[in-house]
Amino acid sequence: MLKRWGIYCKEMYPLIPRVLLGIMLFFEIYFLVLLTNGKTEFNIGISEFVGGFTVFGFLLLLRIADDFKDYKTDLKLFPKRPLPSGRVTKKDLTALLVIDVAALLVLNIVFMNNIFYFLFLMLYGTLMSLWFFNRKIIQKSLPLALITHNPIQLIVNLYAISFTCIKYGVPLISYANILVLFSLYFDGLVWEIGRKIRAPGTETEYTTYSKIFGYKKPVYFIMAVMLVDLVTSSLMVMELFKPAVIGTVLGYVWFFLGCLRFLKNPVKHKIQPLMERYLYVTELYIVVLIVSYLGAAMQPVKF
């Protein structure tokens, strides 16, 4: 079973990159909440790393749940994946899922201060996995699946925000926290839509937004969402360092120009690589701003 788990993780959920991603996402929210609320002294302990591990473990839970949910579809469209190919069994993934959930539950009960928000996160994730008891309706509608499933990113963000606020006595509902909550959500929203847009002539049996609406309308929607994100992200960045908003605006201009190139020539200019490059660059930019802010504040980070 361990060997089969290794096959699954290698192909579907590489452990080391995903652990690092979970920790990075948690700490990004953690520092943004504190810095935008004027807190410059930190006391980092095991709880913060449990929070990062929780993001990793929860995303693993969703990955496994998706493989169960999409099993029949994957048999037809992605037969080489570990589960539909038979190299990994449902029993293997069930065991991995049970261990994952048990570890998250124990770690959060012992080390975290926001158990209610953790349970809410797990409840929503479970309901997602069960198609909110309306599989026949939701599975047939990609927009409905987006509406019901995509808010999970907001709940992941809320999990990290709530821990930070409780630990440092910061009000949960505040102008700064709302900016953090939504600014880090919009990127996930456009990624979810963008990865399901294909150029004319490249569609398969896989259901995409471009197959339903044509390739232009989803891109226009992405651009509209990103305009809203430009506002929230600019306001958030200005809470840290006002001149840094220039970089934020330039990043969005680059993204918009890429979308326009795709609309003009969708075969030559792919939308998915643009999304990936943009997300990596913006994440790196936020990390640089956080590090710069900490350096300028000259406050020690305590461990």
Please state the domain extents for the chain. 1-172, 173-303
CA-based nearest residue to 237, from 191, 165, 173, 288: 288
The predicted structure's pLDDT at residue 297: 61
pLDDT of residue 75: 85
**Per-residue confidence at 280, pLDDT binned at 50, 70, 90?**
confident
Confidence check: pLDDT of 294 > 80: no
CA separation, residue 252 to residues 99, 181, 290 (Å): 41, 19, 19
User: Is pLDDT of 300 > 80?
Assistant: no
User: Which amino acid is residue 16, in one-letter code?
Assistant: I
Residue 45 φ/ψ, nearest 5 degrees: -130, -160
- At the topology level of CATH, where does 1-172 sit? Tetracycline Repressor; domain 2 (1.10.357)
Q: Which residue has the higher pLDDT, 125 or 207?
A: 125
Which pLDDT band holds residue 207 (cuts at 50, 70, 90)? confident
- Can you give the C-alpha Rg of the chain in angstroms? 20
For range 255-278, the mean pLDDT:
88
Give DSSP secondary structure letters for the chain. Answer: -HHHHHHHHHHH--HHHHHHHHHHHHHHHHHHHHHHTT---EE--HHHHHHHHHHHHHHHHHHHHHHHHTHHHHHHH-TTSHHHHTSS-HHHHHHHHHHHHHHHHHHHHHH-S-HHHHHHHHHHHHHHHTGGG-HHHHTT-HHHHHHHHTTHHHHHHHHHHHHHHHHHT--SS-HHHHHHHHHHHHHHHHHHHHTT---TT---SS--HHHHH-SHHHHHHHHHHHHHHHHHHHHHHHHH-GGGHHHHHHHHHHHHHHHHHHHH-TTTS-HHHHHHHHHHHHHHHHHHHHHHHHHHHT-PEE-
- Tell whether pTM > 0.85: yes
Query: Shortest CA distance to 16 belongs to which of 46, 60, 47, 50?
Result: 60
Q: What is the mean pLDDT of residues 82-93?
A: 91
Mean pLDDT across 32-61: 92
Q: How far apart are CA 13 and CA 34, in angstroms?
A: 31
| Average of per-residue pLDDT across 79-90 | 90
pLDDT at residue 42, as a whole number:
83
Express each pLDDT in 144-162 by its tens digit.
988 989 899 999 999 999 9
- The Cα–Cα gap between 90 and 289 comes to 44
Residue 301 dihedral angles phi and psi, to the nearest 5°: -95, 115
pLDDT of residue 121: 96
